[in-house]
Each structure stands twice: as C-alpha cells, then as structure tokens.
Amino acid sequence: MDALTLELLNGLSTFATLGVVALGLGIVFGLMGIINLAHGEFVMIGAYVSYVVHANGFSHWLSVPLAAVVLFVLGGAIELTLIRRIHRQPEVTILATFGLSVCLRQVAELVFTKDFRGVPNPVPGATRAFGVLFPTYRYVLIGIAVAVVVATLLAFTKSRFGLTVRAIVADRDLAEASGIRTGIANLCAFGIGAATAGIAGALVAPLGAIEPQAGLAYLPGAFLVVIVGGFNKLWGVVVGALIVAGVQTGVIHFYDAVWAQIASLGLAVAVLQFRRVSVEGASA
C-alpha cells in the first residue's frame, strides 16, 4: 500500500515536471504550429538563471519568477528576429530552431564553461504525508507546476488574449482581416511559451546537473507529451503529460527505465497513427 502511494506520488511528480516542460511547447508547437527544437535550451537557460541567482546569494524561489521574465524577454526577441520571418514554413523552422539550439548551447558554454553546475535543494529532506515519506521539494515542485499550468490554461481559454490567439490558430488570414494584430499576439504567445520553459528549468535545477547540454534531454519528452495530448488544444498537454507519466512510471515499476523509454516512444508512434486517421475523418 505504501509502495503504491509512493509510486503514485512519483508518477505525480513526473507528471508535473513533464507538464510544465511541455506546456510552452504545447503553445508554440501545438497551437502556433512552430516546431521549436530550441525548447530544451529554454529550459536549460532557466536552470542557469537559478544557478546565477544562487551564486549571487539570493533565494532559490526568486529564480522561478526571474527565469520566467528572462525567458519571456529572450523568447520575444527570438520571435521578433527569427520566428516571425519563417513561421509559415515548418521545414525552415525546424532548421532555424535547430541552429538556434546549437547557438544557445554554445553561448551557455562560453559564459558558464562546460563544467557541471548545481543549486542546492532549498527544502532538503522528506515530508511524511499519506503514510509515506516523500521529498519535500517534490511536493513544492508539484504545487508550483500545477499552478503554472492551470494559470496558463486559464489565460489561453478565458482571457481576451487567449481568444485572440485561438482566433489566429483557427484562421490567421481571417483573424488579420478582422483587425486582430497577429504580430503582437504571436510575440506574446511565443514569449509565454519560453517563459514557462524557463520556470520549468528553474524548478528542476535543484534536482540535477546544470550544464549547456542539459536541455537536450527535455526535448523528446516535451514533444511526446504534445503529440500524445494532441494539437490545437492546450489542455491536451495535461492529458499528454498524464498519459506519458503514467506509462513511464508504470513501466519503470514493473520492468525498468530502459523499457519505459521504449514504451513512451512506441506510444507516440501509435498515437500518431491513430490521430492521423481521426484528423482526416474530422476534415471530411
């Protein structure tokens, strides 16, 4: 029973991490149709923000909002200078953002060197709840991640800005013709996507190594979540993260981590086959 509770909590923390990492990609890729291969590097930069905050003696908690601000500005600048010019050509965005990801890694290497960095856990130790001991920081991570995801979902579904973005997603030309300033909306959407990636980076920083390559590992997971959860609807990220986290935790529990990786890739392939049919069905 305790083992099951722990495994559920593990699954929940995996879900929260995946969800907040994939959220930005859900906006940029799922909604806007921009394939951003530099999304992992946004997470990496977020983690470096928390390292800089720590190195300067400030609290780790400051790094979460700060990473959001830094990445919003950076994301906005990238949208203005790069994405805006090519976003209608998916093949070009793949190449451009791939190049961007290489650039960002190299810049990180120039600034911080290749050495591993780390930030100490701000709340070390474990908390007893539901009859089991579970790391305190993971409870905090789950809380913040869920709050960020919910807030973003609300912003995109309930606010006027969300309505604008959805109008652009539905039909860019018609939206423009109706007087919607698609440029600003795109800028904000991309910036918000980057900002949530920054938050993700700051949140996971105390759980592992910070290095220029650190973002690479997050990219496949984030794409998996978006693919499994489905395009066009941001809440798909939640569904996708839930399914991927469930599969991963379950397979690790019953088999091992290597099979878990294989299983989640298999899941993506299967879902894509299925989804393709359903999309064609819907368009008929």
Is residue 201 within 8 A of residue 63, CB to CB? The reply is no
Is residue 107 within 8 A of residue 43, CB to CB? The reply is no
Task: Look up residue 112 and give its two tokens.
Answer: 């911080």
Question: Which residue, 72 or 175, has its beta carbon nearer to other proteins?
Answer: 175
> Least Å distance between CB 159 and other proteins?
22
Task: Look up residue 100 and give its two tokens.
Answer: 């961007």
Question: Which residue, 59 or 89, has its beta carbon nearer to other proteins?
Answer: 89
Is residue 22 within 8 A of residue 226, CB to CB? The reply is yes
> Least Å distance between CB 85 and other proteins?
18
d(CA 27, CA 194): 9
> Least Å distance between CB 221 and other proteins?
9
Residues in the chain, overall count = 284
Question: Which residue, 69 or 174, has its beta carbon nearer to other proteins?
Answer: 174
Q: Identify the sign of the CA torsion 206, 208, 214, 215.
A: negative
> Least Å distance between CB 88 and other proteins?
10
> Least Å distance between CB 267 and other proteins?
11
Question: Which residue, 10 or 157, has its beta carbon nearer to other proteins?
Answer: 10
> Least Å distance between CB 54 and other proteins?
12
252-259: long-range contacts at Cβ-Cβ below 8 A with a sequence spacing of 24 or more? Answer: 253/7
Residues that bind other proteins (CB under 8 A): 3, 6-7, 10, 13-14, 17, 29, 33, 35, 37, 90-91, 94, 98, 114-118, 120-121, 124-126, 133, 135-138, 170-171, 174, 204, 206-209, 211, 213-214, 216-220, 223, 227, 231-232, 249, 252-253, 256-258, 261, 265, 268-269, 272, 275-276, 279-280, 282-283
Question: Which residue, 61 or 112, has its beta carbon nearer to other proteins?
Answer: 112
> Least Å distance between CB 250 and other proteins?
10
Question: Which residue, 95 or 154, has its beta carbon nearer to other proteins?
Answer: 95
φ/ψ (deg, to 5) at 108: -60, -40
**Three-state SS letters, 215-258:** HHHHHHHHHHHHHHHCCCCCCHHHHHHHHHHHHHHHHHHHCCHH
Question: Which residue, 133 or 184, has its beta carbon nearer to other proteins?
Answer: 133
163, exposed or middle or buried, with CB in 10 Å at 0-12, 13-18, 19+?
middle
Question: Which residue, 160 or 277, has its beta carbon nearer to other proteins?
Answer: 277
> Least Å distance between CB 199 and other proteins?
16
d(CA 161, CA 166): 9
222, exposed or middle or buried, with CB in 10 Å at 0-12, 13-18, 19+?
buried
